[in-house]
Amino acid sequence: MAFQMGATIGLGAYAGYRWDLADGRWAEGETAWATVGCTLAATLIALTLIIRQVLNDSK
């Protein structure tokens, strides 16, 4: 479960980084909001998946 959570968050962060890179935010020194947003969304998704797995395993 830990690797799944890490992979989900890592993929979200990478997707946000690529989005910010495509928009030129990293080159201009602006705040990388896509990276922040995608990482936060991926964290929420990962937590949801972990909670569902734990609840299903306890039955």
What pLDDT, in 10s, does the model give residues 20-37? 999 888 777 788 999 999
Query: What per-residue confidence (pLDDT) applies to 19?
Result: 95
Cβ pair 41, 16 in contact under 8 A? no
The predicted pLDDT at position 1 comes to 83
Domain count within the chain:
1
> Which domain covers residue 6, as residue numbers?
2-57
pTM for the model stands at: 0.86
CA torsion, points 13, 17, 19, 23, in degrees to nearest 10? Answer: 150
Question: What pLDDT is recorded for position 27?
Answer: 77
Q: Give yes or no for residue 6 having a pLDDT over 80.
A: yes
Name the nearest CA neighbour of 34 among 43, 46, 22.
22
